[in-house]
Every structure is written in structure tokens, then in C-alpha cells.
Amino acid sequence: MSLVHLAHACSHLQNASKARLGITSLPSTTQLHNLLLQLQKQGYVNTVSIGGPTPPPPSALAPLMSGNPEAKREMEMSGHVAWSAGSSPPSREGGGEGNSEREERAQEEPITRENISSRRLWVGLKYYNNRPVLEKMKLVSKPTRRIWMRVDDLEGIVRGQKRGYVHGLRGIGEALFLSTDRGMMEIRECVERKIGGMLLCRVNGVDF
């Protein structure tokens, strides 16, 4: 897992939200795709789709429209595939295809040597009362200092207590994402499932 690429993605999403962009894109990797789906699941971004160098049609930016048959056909014609927050792309990280919540999705355009370098993840950003829902995003682990925690330490962070270098959750709408042997999860889900893992990034933290 490349924390350097993840750090670049965190900075990019934070800056794109500050710039009030409606849509932005990231390189198409399994790690970033899983992270974006987690952000969508927690309500920080509107939509996530995979496609080429051109952005998806405007209909893909609205979650309600993304479930419309006409919007889906428009997405397919433009070469994009969208995933909902309850589904995930094929993953080589732990869980594989064993997600019972996965919904049916359109068939992705075959990846070839000619188009693999141009694949992009397109993200519809979210705003409320003229403020970005995703305001801050930053790595917790660093390439030179990876932080792994057990369930009891994660429970303390959820309760707002500091554990080592990591401050507890204190802000409204704050989230912390981890890499586990069952895939990427938010810290509260890890505590609920009694799973430890490596801390990846923090969203909307009061104090990083």
C-alpha cells in the first residue's frame, strides 16, 4: 500500500473542496477506489465512477439520477461505471468479492495496455450551506511511521481519548479510516466488528 499516493489524494480532495469544484479525478487504483467508496458511504462525497480522461455526464453527479435508467445508459455510453456506497469494486485487499451488500453494476470497459494509463476515478464533491462537506483530510500513518492499533485502542479513540500520537475523535462528522485484513473500514465499523488495523487517514478532524 502506497501511503505517498494516498497522501497526494488526501491533499487533492481537500484542495478541490476548498476550490468549490463540482467534480475532480484521481488515478485509478484499487486503494483509492476503496477509499472513495468509504467516503461516499460516510456521506463525504456524492458519487464515485471510473472512466477515461474525460469527466462523466452531468447526470452522474446527482445520486438520485445515478439510479435512473436513462442516466445509467448515458454513463455507459460515455465509458464510465459508477458504484454506489453499498457496493465496491473487485478488491485484491482481503475480502475480495465476498461483499454481501454488493449491488449489480454495469460491466466495466475492458482494461488494455492502450487505455490503462488513462483510467481515472471521478468524484462528485458535496457541499452544504455553501460549505464543503469534506473540509480537511490528512494522513495519520506516514511512510516512515505506520501506526497499527488493536481494538481496545480504537475504542479509546472513538470515545475521544488520545492513543499514542493519535488524538481521539472530537469533531462532529469526523471520521478515521483504517486498512484491515478485511478491507478498508471506518474506525466505528472496526470497533463494531472487533477488528484492528493500520490507521490511514482522518477526515474533518478538529486538530490533526
C-alpha cell belonging to residue 22 = 463540482
CA torsion 123→98→177→133, rounded to 10°? 30
Which pLDDT score is estimated for 96? 45
Q: What is the pLDDT of residues 75-119, one digit of tens each?
A: 566 556 655 444 444 443 444 444 333 333 334 455 555 566 678
Give me the numbers of helices (H) and strands (E) for the chain, helices first please. Answer: 6, 11
CA distance 37 to 45: 9
pLDDT(52) > 60 = yes
pLDDT(179) > 60 = yes
Confidence of residue 57 (pLDDT cuts 50, 70, 90): confident
Query: Cβ of 147: how many Cβ atoms within 10 Å?
Result: 18
Which pLDDT score is estimated for 189? 96
pLDDT(71) > 90 = no
Q: What is the pLDDT of residues 8-28, one digit of tens each?
A: 999 999 999 999 999 999 999
CA distance 6 to 54: 22
- With CA atoms as reference, report the closest residue to 10 among 118, 196, 142: 142
Among the residue ranges 43-52, 58-67, 91-100, the one predicted with the least confidence is: 91-100
**According to the per-residue pLDDT averaged within each range, which of 46-55, 72-81, 112-121, 139-148 is highest?**
139-148
CA distance 81 to 51: 7
Q: What percent of the chain has a predicted confidence (pLDDT) above 70? A: 69
- With CA atoms as reference, report the closest residue to 21 among 123, 174, 121: 123
Which pLDDT score is estimated for 110? 58
pTM exceeding 0.85: no
Ordered domains of the chain (ranges, CATH)? 3-132 (no CATH), 137-203 (3.30.1490.10)
Confidence of residue 54 (pLDDT cuts 50, 70, 90): confident
CA distance 60 to 40: 14
Which pLDDT score is estimated for 119? 85
Which pLDDT score is estimated for 51? 84
C-alpha cell belonging to residue 50 = 471510473
CA distance 119 to 122: 10
Return the higher-pLDDT residue of 162 and 75. 162
Encode 38-58 in three state secondary structure. HHHHCCCEEEEEEECCCCCCH
Which pLDDT score is estimated for 53? 86
